[in-house]
Amino acid sequence: MIPAAFEYHRPKDMAGVLAVLVEHGDEARVLAGGHSLIPMMKLRMADVPHLIDLQDVDGLSGITVDGGRIRIGAMTTQSDIIGHAALAEAAPIMREASLQIADPQVRYMGTVGGNVANGDPGNDMPGLMQCLDATFILVGPDGEREVQARDFYEAAYMTDREDDEVLVAVAFDAPSGGYAYEKQKRKIGDYATAAAAVLLVKDGDTCSSASIAMTNLSDTPVWSEAAGDALVGTSVDAAAIDAAVAAMLGDIDPTQDNRGPIEFKRHAAAMILRRAIARAWDRA
Ligand code: FAD
């Protein structure tokens, strides 16, 4: 459990980070909270000759809630999210989901940027970001660009981010209506067997808008437009929920692993999604 030798870089600004990334290409990786990358290096599953620590770079941490638009810096920790009163008011699903990630020790170190940039299908934030229709802000040698969370994930650990780009922030509109983040896991501190992020807007007795994403049920997060569409225009009755669950089951593609066989995962996905829809609708 000792990583291979690497050179440790600790630049003071983004220009310094980008200079190392440009010089070393895919031999260099940025380090945020280190709670995914360092274990991978120790297991020799990641070979990183040049490690670039982001902690001295100004402007990468912090949460702003401004006129209904929320921006969260990449180095903001899950613990920061849980403790931020204005964010809890504007987007309570962020706090609800963050409280279900790992345990307090991991949440003190794990960052939003690391969680979404890693591309690990087990991470909770990517699906949540897709549910919120978030924008990812990336900086590279050619300047800044934005990518929608729904377009960012290509395969397990494969994203739209170039090797010489750094994710600096995520941004999204404060959601209205009801919300729920539900997660099935084997034990406290575990990654999801299945997790669901649901946002529902109610107009009278009818659902006027729905966004639904699930985690760890494919090699990327799954935002299912069809599952949301199955609820819109209904009173979110049993038939509509059945249709939404069926649509989501058509979009996920779980594999067998130490969290269970495929049929169990599909069962867990359906159960978690039903719970999340019911709770979001109660709160809408
Ligand atoms: P790092 O480990 O520092 O980096 C991860 C990867 O992202 C690296 O490849 C790195 O180069 C890249 N990266 C980091 N920041 C950026 C950036 N700004 N721009 C571009 N690339 C970047 N997560 C969950 O969601 N749910 C769980 O249930 C869960 N359980 C966990 C249990 C344990 C025991 C542990 C150790 C971790 C768990 N995690 C879980 C992961 C944790 O929450 C962190 O979010 C995760 O480790 C990534 O964040 P980090 O800041 O540690 O990133």
For the chain, what are the domain ranges? Answer: 7-53, 63-173, 178-283
Provide the CATH number for the domain formed by 7-53 in this structure: 3.30.43.10
Work out which ligand 1 atom sits closest to the CA atom of 167: 19
pLDDT at 64: 98
Q: Which of 21, 111, 158 should be mutated for ligand 1, with most atoms under 8 A from CB?
A: 111
Ligand 1 nearest atom to the CA of residue 215, by list position: 25
Q: Is residue 197 predicted with pLDDT exceeding 90?
A: yes
The per-residue pLDDT for 89 is 97
pLDDT given at position 189: 87
| Range 180-208 average pLDDT | 96
Report phi then psi at 255, rounded to 5: -120, 160
CA 245 to CA 230: how far, in whole Å?
A: 9
Q: What's the pLDDT score for residue 29?
A: 97
Cα–Cα distance measured from residue 262 to residue 265, given in angstroms and rounded to the nearest whole number: 5
**Which is nearest to 199 in space by CA: 94, 64, 71?**
94
Q: How far apart are CA 214 and CA 175, in angstroms?
A: 18
Residue owning the nearest CA to atom 43 of ligand 1:
110
CA distances from 284 to 137, 153, 273, 277 (A): 30, 29, 16, 10
Distance 44 CA to ligand 1 centre (A): 17
- Kindly tell me if the per-residue pLDDT of 188 is higher than 90: no
**Ligand 1 in reach of 96 Cβ (< 6 A):** no
Q: Using a 6 Å cutoff on CB, does residue 119 contact ligand 1?
A: no
Of 1-5, 16-20, 153-157, minimum mean pLDDT range = 1-5
The whole-angstrom separation of Cα 250 and Cα 247 is 5
Cβ–ligand 1 distance for 114 under 6 Å, the answer: yes
Is residue 65 very low, low, confident or very high in pLDDT (cuts 50, 70, 90)?
very high
Percentage above 90 pLDDT, the chain:
97
How high does pLDDT run on average in the chain? 97
Is pLDDT above 90 for 202?
yes
Residue among 14, 17, 106, 144 to mutate when testing ligand 1 (max atoms within 8 A of CB): 106
Cβ–Cβ under 8 Å, residues 120 and 156 = yes
Whether pLDDT at 1 is above 90: no
Read off the pLDDT of each residue in 88-111 and give the average, rounded to a whole number. 97
- What's 178-283's CATH class? alpha beta
Question: What average pLDDT does range 54-76 have in this prediction?
Answer: 97
Task: Flag whether pLDDT at 275 surpasses 90.
Answer: yes
| Nearest residue (CA) to ligand 1, atom 30 | 102
**pLDDT bracket for residue 243 (50, 70, 90):** very high
Query: What is the band of 271 on the pLDDT scale with cuts at 50, 70, 90?
Result: very high
Can you name the residues that pair with 170 across neighbouring β-strands?
72, 136
ipTM surpassing 0.95: yes
- Choosing among 3.30.465.10, 3.20.20.70, 3.30.1360.20, 3.30.1280.10, the CATH entry for 63-173 is 3.30.465.10
Q: Is the pLDDT of residue 256 over 90?
A: yes
121 lines ligand 1 (CB under 6 A): no
Atom of ligand 1 nearest to the CA of 190: 28
pTM value is: 0.97
What does the pLDDT read at residue 24? 95
CB of 31 closer than 6 A to ligand 1?
Answer: yes
Residue 97 pLDDT: 98
C-alpha–C-alpha distance, residues 149 and 166, integer Å? 15
Mean pLDDT, rounded, for 175-202: 96
Mean pLDDT of 166-171: 98
